[in-house]
Structure 1
């Protein structure tokens, strides 16, 4: 039985009370974001979308903003104050193909750079984010989401 005051061995509590793996920290979040976006920008499926929507000169600021998003999402830092959904809704070509590829590259990056428990957390959260964005965009487009299942893995 675990002590209700202490997190299980190999984990720690964030300031928000979330249990996270000990190995997960800001530099790891930044490494995953940097590596993922380098792959994404060069990818044949999602690269053209990213490169059309985000100007070359804006990438450093975008990487900082996305790092802050994932830091808040995984570490509970509360440093992200943006609203990502409206930006994504404004991209007319986004489809399941794009979300599936985004998730596959994100999963691959997390597995390459992180210990298994940290990769698992990144993957689980990315799948939640991807599914949420996908459903919200579909609703906004007037699509019937009642029969939409989870995205298939690439």
Structure 2
């Protein structure tokens, strides 16, 4: 039986992914809570490479292009200061970005993947910290900071 291509909603393409990635990280870099985490690890001259990597990541996640070959989990587990508050803020800014830039079906797909990724990271961080991973409830869109 042939494999069906992944569901790609109308409007989702590499241009849209690039707009989301660049728009989102513009917000992150200006955010009082998230900017210090990134600034401590990404030098100003390294941002263009990081943004291209994030475009590859989201292209692979959403369109199954296979362009991303990294391992993001170990990089995040190496950040002892990461808390649920960081993921909450990350998701809140991400939601604002995709709701502003994307058609509803594309925004929904981005958010579905972002919530799943954040939950996977949160579970692994709980395990790393010796906490009960079963107590880590997934965030929902209703849990996020209202759009500004």
Q: TM-score, normalized by length of structure 2?
A: 0.91
In structure 1, what is the Cα distance between the partners aligned to 2:118 and 2:84?
10
Unpaired segments of 5 or more residues in structure 1? 6-14
Structure-1 residue corresponding to 2:144: 153
Residue 31 of structure 2 corresponds to residue 40 of structure 1: no
Q: Please state how far the C-alpha of 1:16 moved relative to its aligned partner.
A: 6.8
Range 69-78 or range 132-141, more displaced:
132-141
Alignment of 1:72-111 (within 5 A): 72-111=60-99
Q: Which has the higher contact order (CA 8 A, sep 6+)?
A: 2
Partner of 1:9: none
How many residues are paired up? 141
CA offsets, 1:65-110, max 9 Å, x none?
0110000000110000000011111111100000000000001000
What is the TM-score with the length of structure 1 in the denominator? Answer: 0.87
- Residue in structure 1 matched with residue 50 of structure 2 by the alignment: 62
Matched-pair contact (CA < 8 Å) for 1:16–1:76? no
Q: Distance in 2 between matches of 1:146 and 1:117?
A: 31
**Mapped contact 2:122–2:136 kept (Cα < 8 A):** no
Higher helix share: 2
Unmatched 5+ stretches in structure 2? none
